[in-house]
Structure 1
Amino acid sequence: MNFSCSKSNSPTQSPIKTHPVDTPVTIAKGADVSWVTEMEAKGIKFYDKTGTQKDLFVLLKSLGFNSIRLRAWVNPTDGYCNTADLLTKAIRAQKQGFKIMIDFHYSDYWADPGKQTKPAAWASLDFVTLTATLHDYTKSVMSTLKDNGIAPTWVQIGNETNDGMLWEEGRASKSMANFAALIKNGYAAVKEVSPATKVIIHISNGYDNGLFRWMFDGLKANGAKWDIIGMSLYPSKTNWSTLDAQCFTNMNDMVGRYSTPVMVVEVGMEAGAPAESKAFLSDIISKVKSVDSGSGLGVFYWEPESYNNWQGYALGAFDTTGKPTNALDAFAD
């Protein structure tokens, strides 16, 4: 999640191709619910539309979700989103039959376009040791999951890495080669433990074709590997139609340019605008299903269970009484 994304240059429009109307397309309909254990520890509860209290994972399954995304922090001070907490949530998700995405931030706290801070324990490492440490940490988390019977369907190497990660050495605008080396080490670590897991590189502003071309041209030129291109999209209730159209054009360009599938791994809109949010979600889900060659793989809502401005986040999809708003009906369609 990036709270300060601003619109940049719009991509050039290209012809829109769609699937025949009689061809059903199944995609991942997901939610990042990484806050859930912390919210529960603070006494926050979740309810279905009738007001009946429900376990969040059970509730999301009933709303049409089929996938869960969980962030991984290296050594957070409060413990939430560390490997143990990640495992607890992954086990709960798997018990409900969800596919699982792991989102490695490679930080002790939030990583996004404005900050990619090294974990404190990695801060003084030289670059060769840093890449090896990233590999070993990734492999350790993946092995912990595997030892507990969990094989993630997808893994992100970095979160919203618009200018790389593990700054300054991994800042892409300073050294795309260094960023590519970090990606290579993360990719290798995932595949060593779980060869079938698909690796995602994720950047924000899914409407910004120029940003995506710069990043993936650079990574390709430096030998990085990825299986899926991931993007974020956080429109407002007034510009969502425009940004959806630009995102769709960008998705098709990514598929054609790099021959890899795409996925919208983060979306969100104002909690107080459920009608507009549902329209946005229905539209972006439809567009992902219509990406060329069936290469649109999914849409994930970022922390929909957040309500009452939890930690200052106002883009959840639950109302002030802890019940899902009509926005999430888009995932059941």
Structure 2
Amino acid sequence: MKKILCPGLLLIFCLSFSCSKGKSETQIKTDPADTAATIAKGADVSWVTEMEAKGIKFYDKNGTQKDLFVLLKSLGFNSIRLRAWVNPTAGYCNTADLVAKALRAQKQGFKIMIDFHYSDDWADPGKQTKPAAWASLDFATLSATLHDYTKSVMNTLKSNGITPNWVQVGNETNDGMLWEDGRASKNMANFAALIKSGYAAVKEVSPTTKVIVHISNGYDNGLFRWMFDGLKANGAQWDIIGMSLYPSKTNWQTLDAQCLTNMNDIVTRYATPVMVVEVGMEANASAESKAFLTDMISKVKSVNTNNGLGVFYWEPESYNSWQGYGLGAFDTTGKPTIALDAFAN
């Protein structure tokens, strides 16, 4: 998700899908081995190589320059999330860049999540643009191409000694992906077919890797029921349901409570673990952000039957409004704010 957007428009878009369907029998089963005693405390740092190329540096709280991955490890993080773009113009987040960052994460002992956007650029609730090379494909070929691309990236990671713990097939797919063919509100069966293609590709290379389907607005139970009832009815497979949550410094307590209610409903309704794969708050509200993160981590740990698996901060290393993003968790001098103290415990 590219975080240069209007929260109001995003809310309106997501609420438009807040319709519930009847409760159906559970089909997806929880894997007991996936309910770890220690949850994933993660950060998406996909911007890091681009920031470093621009001369941006990172410092610990004492002002000592540090490699970002080393610094995050010292702050209590244990997992790293990295996005994958098909053919980005500047090269960042392509497969080679993805592998370079994953190797750095692995060197520090991090668990790794790969986030396939299935686009050449940002994919989020407001846009799910096909990669340029896929634009004219018929649907059967599009689905097969998604499968082959996913498998190719997974094999490239494997050949470099990297086995992701988790893989997202799509990013914030509130209305599906690869529009218009995979737009869920117009053709849920097509979206489900794309999810099945991505799921199969991941498992063919790495059967132990958990596959995540991710949508935003973790407080919106109606949205989640609409999406996952629809996917389930169309035979899609997933291992974990992922969500985003971006509250403000004034509404975080309300949204956290609603998010916990939603997570518990998901666990019961689909017998599926949940993970908060994106969070963030205004960089200049570090005290409120620390309170929000502390509470969110606590709530995830409290999810029924230990099926809350983790919390990931989206691009915390961003500072001085890098690329217009104001929800990082580093101060203007490149040091982590107190917000990230929430990940220490």
Q: TM-score range by the shorter chain?
A: over 0.9
Selected match of 2:236 from 211, 221, 224? 224
| Alignment partner, residue 32 of structure 2 | none
| Alignment partner, residue 283 of structure 2 | 271
2: distance between equivalents of 1:26 and 1:275? 25
Q: Is the 8 A contact 1:11 1:208 kept in 2?
A: no
2: distance between equivalents of 1:235 and 1:80? 28
RMSD over equivalenced CA pairs, Å: 1.4
Cα deviation, 1:145-172, whole Å, max 9, x if unaligned, reads 0000000000000000000000000000
| Alignment partner, residue 43 of structure 1 | 55
Deviation at 1:26, TM superposition (A): 1.1
Q: Is the 8 A contact 1:237 1:277 kept in 2?
A: yes
Selected match of 2:189 from 177, 183, 186? 177
Q: Is the 8 A contact 1:11 1:246 kept in 2?
A: no
Cα deviation, 1:42-95, whole Å, max 9, x if unaligned, reads 000000000000000000000000000000000000000000000000000000
| Alignment partner, residue 312 of structure 1 | 324
Q: Is the 8 A contact 1:154 1:200 kept in 2?
A: yes
Matched letter for residue 106 of structure 1: Y
| Alignment partner, residue 95 of structure 1 | 107
Q: Given the alignment of the two structures, is residue 186 of structure 1 paired with residue 198 of structure 2, yes or no?
A: yes
2: distance between equivalents of 1:187 and 1:6? 28
TM-score (norm. length: structure 1): 0.95
Q: Given the alignment of the two structures, is residue 205 of structure 1 paired with residue 217 of structure 2, yes or no?
A: yes
Selected match of 1:6 from 7, 11, 19? 11
1: distance between equivalents of 2:326 and 2:19? 28
| Alignment partner, residue 256 of structure 2 | 244
Aligned residues: 322
| Alignment partner, residue 160 of structure 1 | 172
2: distance between equivalents of 1:11 and 1:249? 17
Q: Aligned to 1:177, what secondary structure does the other structure show?
A: helix
Q: Is the 8 A contact 2:175 2:184 kept in 1?
A: yes
Q: Is the 8 A contact 1:11 1:207 kept in 2?
A: no
2: distance between equivalents of 1:297 and 1:131? 29
1: distance between equivalents of 2:167 and 2:56? 28
Matched letter for residue 124 of structure 2: D
Q: Is the 8 A contact 1:105 1:159 kept in 2?
A: yes
| Alignment partner, residue 293 of structure 1 | 305
Q: Aligned to 1:6, what secondary structure does the other structure show?
A: helix
Selected match of 1:64 from 59, 76, 95? 76
Matched letter for residue 202 of structure 1: H
Cα deviation, 1:95-148, whole Å, max 9, x if unaligned, reads 000000000000000000000000000000000000000000000000000000
1: distance between equivalents of 2:256 and 2:50? 32
Q: Is the 8 A contact 2:58 2:335 kept in 1?
A: yes
TM-score (norm. length: structure 2): 0.92
1: distance between equivalents of 2:285 and 2:254? 17
Matched letter for residue 168 of structure 1: E
Q: Which 5+ residue runs of structure 2 have no aligned equivalent?
A: 21-35
Q: Aligned to 1:172, what secondary structure does the other structure show?
A: coil
Selected match of 2:132 from 104, 108, 120? 120
Q: Is the 8 A contact 2:19 2:226 kept in 1?
A: no
Deviation at 1:6, TM superposition (A): 1.8
Selected match of 1:322 from 334, 337, 345? 334
| Alignment partner, residue 142 of structure 1 | 154
Q: Aligned to 2:11, what secondary structure does the other structure show?
A: coil
Cα deviation, 1:218-276, whole Å, max 9, x if unaligned, reads 00000000000000000000000000000000000000000010000000000000000
Q: Is the 8 A contact 1:11 1:250 kept in 2?
A: no
Q: Aligned to 1:112, what secondary structure does the other structure show?
A: coil
The runs of at least 4 consecutive aligned structure 1 residues that moved more than 6 Å come to 9-12
Structure 2 CA distance for partners of 1:231 and 1:126, relative to 1, 3 Å: same
Matched letter for residue 149 of structure 2: Y
Matched letter for residue 138 of structure 1: T
Deviation at 1:11, TM superposition (A): 11
2: distance between equivalents of 1:35 and 1:295? 30
Deviation at 1:25, TM superposition (A): 3.9
1: distance between equivalents of 2:133 and 2:11? 32
2: distance between equivalents of 1:302 and 1:185? 27
| Alignment partner, residue 284 of structure 1 | 296
Selected match of 2:97 from 85, 90, 95? 85
